[in-house]
Amino acid sequence: MGVFYLLNGYFTANIASNTSHSYLFIPACLYLSFAFLEKPEVAYFVGVVLSFAALLSCSFLPTTIVSLLTTYALLIGFMFAKSARTGPPFRLPLRRLMLHTIAVFGAACLLSVLYLPLLESLRSTGTLDMYSKRIFYPVRWPGILSLFSSSHFYESYNAMEAAAGPFQENVAFHFGVVALGLSGCAVSVRRGKHTPLIIACAATAIFVLSRTFGVPGFTQLVSKLPVVGNIGCQYWWGAIAIPLMLL
């Protein structure tokens, strides 16, 4: 996962951008969260608090919100996988997931010195109004060709070929057949102990792809969600790269 993450072009292209700051902490958040759900010890609880405190310290809201949503989507998949292995469905994993949520709340409390002044100033600065009035512009359908790029792992850049003409995007996103091929190796018709987690990863990637390409009906439904419905497509691509790492 570390090699996959460090070599992907999305990270390289956005290393100095505010869109990528929170992604650096996702591996630590996932590792410590999985470890805590597997074995809820005090050390892992503290690790969850500190790792999510690092994630939430990135106060650029679009990517921080997307990162949190993606992380919890994968944790729910892991919860179902654990439930299938440990006997009584839901009870034990749900209790641990609630404890995990308490840990994340504790991380937010640690950052109260950062977020309380921010919350207090929302009305005077009009930040919520600014986000609520944003219009979501989906990626044009010809951009689907980026899924079959011969690029290394994953990249984004602002330098499209002139021949792209009317299909030119603000940012071009390329997975590359290597990334999709490696991720596809996780999919199997046989049910295994990780199947729920694999389904959660694949479903998250498909969900985000459907949103970014503006699938009719689906994208209108997402647009009705407060704040989340106004997040631009350029901030959602990390929610595809993260599940692909696990796959």
Name the pTM for this structure: 0.79
Q: What is the pLDDT of residue 107?
A: 94
Query: What is the pLDDT, as a whole number, of residue 231?
Result: 84
Would you state the structure tokens that stand for residue 58, as one six-digit string?
């990135």
Q: Who contacts 212 (Cβ-Cβ below 8 Å, separation ≥6)? A: 138, 139, 233, 236, 237
**CA-CA distances (angstroms) from residue 15 to 8, 146, 152, 155?**
11, 21, 17, 12
User: Nearest-CA neighbor of 21 among 66, 75, 72?
Assistant: 66
pLDDT along the chain (247 residues), means of 10: 60 64 85 92 95 90 88 91 68 82 94 82 70 74 66 48 51 63 83 87 89 83 82 80 85
The whole-angstrom separation of Cα 89 and Cα 200 is: 17
Question: Tell me, what's the pLDDT at 203?
Answer: 92
